[in-house]
Structure formats: structure tokens, C-alpha cells
Amino acid sequence: MNEKSKTSISTGGFSRREFLMASAGAAALITAGTFANIARAKAPHALPPLPYLENALAPVISAETIGFHYGRHHKGYVDNLNRLIEGTPFSDMTLEKIVMETADKPKKDGIFNNAAQVWNHTFYWNSMKPEGGGERPDALKKRIIASFGSMDRCRKELAAAAVTQFASGWAWLVADGDALKIIKTGNAKTPLTSGMKPLLTIDVWEHAYYLDYQNRRTDYVNAVIEKLINWSFAEKNLGL
Ligand code: MN3
């Protein structure tokens, strides 16, 4: 790959300036309400800004991976969704409503897959932060200990779900009623449609880690949990 194509790839198809502006704008937008606002947005759906700069998660996740994953994959789902819902009743629904209305309806697979992937990816970007990992906030810690017995057990179950999800999918920390649980979903599936409240997620599609870790998914998962996972985001999602 020559230097020129490398540069255009690392910004995911945006001009360098547009990309930096979007990323810088995002840093100012991180509030408890930001993610909910995205989920409530209607068509045309926009690619939500990254909550940090594209190189902010390196070396755990490189700027090159973010360039492809956010700038190409996530953007692709947004573009496909807008194209698929144009002129249909779905164009007047929030993103979350589209996900709920199309789940488990084989004829609506295309819309579901793209809508759920838009939602899942925005949730994933927010599930990580530079200098993440470490200790959980106290209120969340109490709930984790009540459900898993220990912090370490929660971390291990999350890693195990992420590593053992066969092929593409997601590992999640969710609230199912009063209990916190670890679950995994395949492809675009999301716990939202099973009545559970997502708290955190890790993307285990190969595009999330292959440039940095090749086939070593376990190394990617452990590094994300140790160094990037945003426990404060989980606490906010739990309403604590
Ligand atoms: Mn992905």
C-alpha cells in the first residue's frame, strides 16, 4: 500500500479536515444524553461523531482500524439504512423503533441488519474510552458484585462471551430486570429486542480487530477490557 492510499484509508473516506472536525466536535458532545439522542434520531440518519479522536484508542485499537471500522463499516450501515427506508413507513421512525419493528421479520432483514448495526456501533464507540478499564464506579460495582459475585468474575465472563461468540457478533453486559448478565449475539442482533437493557458492548466482528491482531481475538478482547472499557458509560446506562 503506498503512502497516499494509506492516508485516505485512515480517515475512512472523509477529507482529513472533515474527519478531524467531526472528531473534535464529538469530544464536546459527550454527555449522558448524547447516545439516547442518537437512538431517538429519525431519517435521514447521520453517522454519529466518534466520542474521541481516531488515534485516541491506540495502541489497543489503531487509527487505521478506526478509520476503516468507523469511516467505512459504520458509515456504510448508515448509508444503506437511509437508502433502504426511503419512501417507506420506517423513514418516520426513530432508529430504535426501526430496530424493534424489524427484528425477527425475515422480509425486513436488510433494514434490521443495517439499523441494528448503526445502533450497535454507536453503542460500541461509547463503550470504550482512552484510559478506560480499571476500577468500576462504586454504584455499578455493587450491582456487579450482587450479580456475579466478584468484579473479576464479571470481567472473565465478558471476555469468555467475546472470545466464544462463533463468527461475527457482539458480547454484552446487560441488565435483565434487576440482574446484570453477560450475553452474546450473532451478526447484527442486539439485546434491545429481547427486552434487556444494554450496558456495554464489545464488537467481535473480524473487522474490529483483524488489522491490529489478525486472528488473535483473545488478545483484542483482553486489551479492550483492561485498557479501554468505559465502566462509567455502563453505570449511566443503568441509570445509577
Ligand atoms: Mn463492527
Q: Which of 38-42, 50-54, 97-101, 218-222 shows the lowest mean pLDDT across its residues?
A: 38-42
Q: Which domain holds residue 200?
A: 138-238
Picking from 228, 96, 120, the residue whose alpha carbon sits closest to that of residue 171 is 120
Number of neighbouring beta carbons within 10 Å of residue 15: 10
For residue 93, the 8-state DSSP code is: S
Q: Calculate how far, in angstroms, residue 167's C-alpha sits from the geometric centre of ligand 1.
A: 12
Together in a domain, 89 and 161 = no
Residue 200 lies in a domain: yes
- Proportion of the chain above pLDDT 90, given as a percent: 78
Neighbours of ion ligand 1 (CB under 5 A): 203, 205
Ligand 1 centre to CA of 205 (Å) is: 6
Per-residue pLDDT of 140-166, as tens digits, reads: 999 999 999 999 999 999 999 999 999
**At 200, which CATH number?**
3.55.40.20
180 and 91 in a single domain? The answer is no
Give residue 73 CA to ligand 1 midpoint distance, Å: 7
